[in-house]
Structure 1
Amino acid sequence: MPKKIDLTAQRHMITDAAIGVINRTGLDGARLRDVARAANVTTGAVTHYFDGKDAVLEATLEEVVRRTLKRMTAATGPGATESPERFIQSVCGYLPLDAESRGEWRVWLAFWGRAISDERLGRVHQGYYRGITHRLITPLRALAPEGRKPSRKRALACADGLIAALDGVGTRATLEPDLWPPDRQKETLTGLLLPLLTAFTNGTDTPPHDQTRQKDDAS
């Protein structure tokens, strides 16, 4: 009887290998035969599961996002919403703190560069960011005391700020790993997020529509 092959496991094995290849060569330098070699399979096996290089690259980005969302779900559980400090401690887990997460960040940033000029990939990137942002709304609202829950609009604005801070610190740490050890990453992110989350949970942050009005008034 033929051995049953786990298609999902095979695809994950190939995208995991592609993460390593992209780390070494970048997107343009990543070749199917290099991915196949890293996965210890033939090039034909790669093209059996993926319709060419672009499909492998997009699946690799999807795998990085899947891992990010998995960490997000684990990190923003009930215990993480006890206080802004505890929440920040949890989201620090998204930063490039070790070799595995640095590799994922390098892939993410490599796709950033291509998404600027590739309209279709740009839409894919925007979709992933929307998904990540909306995943944060519920745990952010849970930070506020009962009876003073912020609106989804305010939570969405706070999530945008949180992700911008994560992107900033994560990008610097990925590009300058020797200058941004884990302790510095966590300290910097805490300095950025603690005022944001404290104001958000206390209800003293500026609502998004008021920010626009203040900008118009100042001009």
Structure 2
Amino acid sequence: MPKQVDAVAQRRTIASAAITVIGSAGIEGTRLRDVAAAANVTTGAVTHYFDGKDAVLEAAFEEVVRRVLESPVALPTTPGDIAECIDIFAVYLPLNDEGLGEWRVWLSFWARAMNDARLRAVHQRYYSAIIERIAYRIATIGGPTVTRTDLHARADAVLAAIDGVGCRAVLEPDSWPADRQRETLSRLLLPMLTAFAHETRSSDL
């Protein structure tokens, strides 16, 4: 009887392999046979599940986002603890080799999406999910009068700060070790989140 193949698991295996290959070779230098070798499958298996390099890139990007959204990062243990909240946001930065590889996929996807409306739509959909998660954490800082619009505006700013620090770290990894990334993110977010917490407390008076 032929061996049953879990298509979802196989796609994720190939996507994970693509993250590794894209991270080291870049999207232009990535070949499907290299992805196949990294996934320990045949090139035919890759082309069976994915229609070309862009589809592999999209799957790699989807896998990166899945890891972000499913990472076991808890809410701050003390409501209103801004420093702990910033530490949680720092987890999204490329703090190690695995993170650098994932961010290289992220930036490769950005480059493709700039001239591809379909990929831009994928980007917007996943970014919306990440914004929701960030907003959920920011809600621990504010008071009961905080609106959804307020939370999303702050979440957009937080994600912009993460993107900015992350891009610098990917482009200049030797100059941006983990400690510098965390410190810079804190410098960007601490004034904003402190002001946000003060605004919400004042509105409760």
TM exceeds 0.5?
yes
CA distance in 1, matches of 2:12, 2:28: 21
Gapped regions of structure 1 (runs ≥ 5): 206-219
More deviation, 10-19/121-130 = 121-130
> What is aligned with 2:193?
197
Q: Is the 8 A contact 2:135 2:155 kept in 1?
A: yes
Question: Secondary structure in 1 aligned to 2:114?
Answer: helix
CA distance in 1, matches of 2:79, 2:69: 17
Larger relative contact order (CA 8 Å, sep ≥ 6): 2
The one-letter amino acid of 1:134's match is: E
Gapped regions of structure 2 (runs ≥ 5): none
> What is aligned with 1:37?
37
> What is aligned with 1:46?
46
> What is aligned with 2:99?
101
CA distance in 1, matches of 2:54, 2:165: 29
CA distance in 2, matches of 1:95, 1:80: 23
CA distance in 2, matches of 1:143, 1:117: 38
CA distance in 1, matches of 2:5, 2:80: 44
By how many angstroms is 1:186 displaced? 0.6
Judged with a 3 Å threshold, the aligned counterparts in structure 2 of structure 1 residues 39 and 140 are, in CA distance, closer, same or farther, namely: same
Residues 101-126 of structure 1, C-alpha deviations (whole Å, 9 max, x = no match): 11000110111112112222122212
Q: Is the 8 A contact 2:135 2:151 kept in 1?
A: yes
Alignment: residue pair count: 201
> What is aligned with 1:126?
124
Q: Is the 8 A contact 2:94 2:169 kept in 1?
A: yes
> What is aligned with 1:209?
none
Residues 5-46 of structure 1, C-alpha deviations (whole Å, 9 max, x = no match): 222221111111111111222222222111111111111111
By how many angstroms is 1:80 displaced? 6.8
Aligned Cα RMSD in Å?
1.9
By how many angstroms is 1:63 displaced? 0.6
- The percent of aligned pairs where both chains have the same amino acid is 55
Matches within 5 A, 1:1-219: 1-71=1-71, 74-77=72-75, 79=77, 81-145=79-143, 148-203=144-199
Residues 63-98 of structure 1, C-alpha deviations (whole Å, 9 max, x = no match): 111111123xx3242527441111001111111111
Normalization by structure 1: what TM-score? 0.85
